[in-house]
């Protein structure tokens, strides 16, 4: 197994079935990034792009993913950042730290769902008010 220090990226519609080691595949259509683990173990790391999950930055030449990639469910338990197509290695986390990190991620996802549902409710209320206003306007001009 060869640990990578750098990757290249490819923007794709769909993530290919077979991934090339050292290539980070970015599907904007599916808001997903995938790559073979940078440690060389061959496992595929999927990083869904969403609030509370991962964010992708593209500067015109390179990509960065935030937060770090912690492959805690892989036997290798690799932990690294991809920043401007460079791989920055970090120490593996303890089981306790992994559990806390997963709980924090779940909490962030739930907050985003609540915020999104609240925004949908507000939008629906505004749409309902506008529909009522247009209905009154139509009745007045009939």
For 87, list phi and psi in degrees, rounded to 5.
Answer: -105, 120
In which band, very low, low, confident or very high, does the pLDDT at 126 lie, cut at 50, 70 and 90? very low
What is the tens place of the pLDDT at every residue in 57-84? 999 999 999 999 998 889 999 999 999 9
Is the pTM above the cut of 0.85?
no
- Lateral strand order in the sheet of 86-89: 55-58, 63-70, 79-83, 86-89
């Amino acid at each position: 197994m060869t640990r990578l220090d750098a990757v290249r990226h490819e923007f794709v519609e769909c993530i290919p079935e077979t991934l090339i080691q050292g290539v980070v595949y970015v599907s904007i259509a599916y808001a997903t990034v995938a790559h073979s683990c940078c440690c060389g173990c061959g496992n595929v790391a999927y990083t869904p792009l969403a609030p509370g999950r991962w964010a992708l930055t593209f500067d015109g030449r390179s990509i960065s993913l935030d937060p770090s990639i912690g492959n805690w469910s892989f036997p290798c338990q690799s932990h690294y950042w991809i920043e401007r197509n460079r791989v920055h290695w970090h120490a593996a986390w303890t089981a306790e730290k992994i559990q806390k990190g997963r709980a924090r991620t779940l909490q962030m996802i739930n907050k985003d769902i609540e915020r999104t549902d609240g925004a949908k409710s507000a939008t629906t209320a505004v749409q309902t008010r506008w529909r009522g206003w247009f209905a009154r306007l139509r009745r007045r001009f009939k």
